[in-house]
Amino acid sequence: MDEERLRRLIDALQRGEVTAAEALAELRRLPFADLGFAKVDHHRALRTGSAEAILCQGKTVEQVVAIAERLARAHSNVLVTRAPHEIFVAIQAAGLPAEYHPKARVVVVNPKPQEGVGLIAVVSAGTADQAVADEAAVTCEALGNRVERIYDVGVAGLHRVLDHYPLMQEANVIIVVAGMEGALPSVVGGLVDRPVIAVPTSVGYGASLGGIAALLAMLNSCAPGVSVVNIDNGFGAAQQANLINKLIAKIR
């Protein structure tokens, strides 16, 4: 149950449209729903401002659909991450409205258009990094943020990222996605006066070690104000950026 639905329930109770017993029965379902194989957290939206997301890895198609059905009863823009196309097909077959973003591998269940607040810039080093960058961008948009994508601006051609300097200066927070040697977040962090969230990707040749080289480079960045999430974790970077952007929007 999100905050809007809880307010509607309280208002209905005040107007006498539902009884106290009916309201109590609804509230009993607030903390979580036990599906046996999963405890679906309905309270997360009230605690953190966004509904629980569904990571497809390690789950069967049937489990993902069952969780999505339960979350969609109370929430809009439910995120299903690392989703192959078959998951999207199964969600649609269950009668749930959904949008699929194939590059990001994200399904948005019960999508609800909204005007994005603030500005988050998502910057990627190379074309091969765009899948992770798209996961971050789609997640940010589903959470209600305005997003600008700046793609293929890696350090092999610094003039490309410098061309987007004015836009990066407008953003409240910048997500920078890079594989190989992972140098781009340090470059961006040395150019701007706002938080930079670095996302190492597993893109690269043998000595990149599946993204560990980029991760270590980002953790050792000499540019202040750079934080780092796990390898290929565009979703995690988006959640952090969402919190920062929303806090700044409240202050302003």
Q: What is the pLDDT of residue 29?
A: 61
- Residue 33 host element (H or E): strand 32-34
Q: What is the pLDDT of residue 115?
A: 83
Strands laid side by side in the 54-55 sheet: 54-55, 78-81, 106-109, 98-101
Q: What is the pLDDT of residues 73-112, one digit of tens each?
A: 877 888 999 999 999 999 999 999 999 999 999 999 988 8
64-91 burial, b for 16+ CB within 10 Å, e for fewer? bbbbbbbbbebbbbbbbbbbeeebbebb
Q: What is the pLDDT of residue 40?
A: 64
Strands 78-81 and 98-101: unpaired
Q: What is the pLDDT of residue 199?
A: 98
Q: Strand (E) positions, 82-160? A: 98-101, 106-109, 117-124, 145-150
Q: Give the number of other CB atoms < 10 A from CB of residue 26.
A: 17
Q: Which two tokens stand for residue 170?
A: 């407008």
Please determine, for residue 34, whether its predicted confidence score (pLDDT) is greater than 60: no
Q: Are 132 and 201 in contact (CB under 8 A)?
A: yes
Give the angle 215-216-219 at the CA atoms, nearest 5°: 85
Smallest Cα–Cα separation from 250: which of 49, 11, 42, 43? 49
Q: What is the pLDDT of residue 157?
A: 87
Smallest Cα–Cα separation from 245: which of 189, 182, 173, 154? 173
Q: What is the pLDDT of residue 226?
A: 95
Smallest Cα–Cα separation from 144: which of 238, 46, 74, 237? 238
When computed from its CA atoms, the radius of gyration of the chain, rounded to whole angstroms, is: 20
Q: What is the pLDDT of residue 169?
A: 93
Q: What is the pLDDT of residues 183-209, one digit of tens each?
A: 999 999 999 999 999 999 999 999 999
Q: What is the pLDDT of residue 9?
A: 74
Q: What is the pLDDT of residues 160-173, one digit of tens each?
A: 888 899 999 999 99
Q: Which two tokens stand for residue 70?
A: 């339960």
| Cα–Cα distance measured from residue 35 to residue 33, given in angstroms and rounded to the nearest whole number | 6
Average pLDDT over residues 126-148: 95
Q: Would you say the C-alpha torsion 148, 152, 154, 159 has a positive or negative sign? A: negative
Q: Mean pLDDT in the chain? A: 88
- Residue 228 host element (H or E): strand 226-228
Q: What is the pLDDT of residue 156?
A: 85
Tell which wins on pLDDT, 37 or 198.
198
Q: Which of 8-22, 115-129, 187-201, 212-226 has the lowest mean pLDDT?
A: 8-22
Tell which wins on pLDDT, 175 or 72.
175
Strand, coil or helix: what is 132? Answer: helix
Q: What is the pLDDT of residue 188?
A: 95
Q: Are 173 and 197 in contact (CB under 8 A)?
A: yes
Please determine, for residue 216, whether its predicted confidence score (pLDDT) is greater than 70: yes
Q: What is the pLDDT of residues 219-247, one digit of tens each?
A: 999 999 899 999 999 999 999 999 999 99
Residue 32 pLDDT level (bands cut at 50, 70, 90): low
Residue 4 pLDDT level (bands cut at 50, 70, 90): low
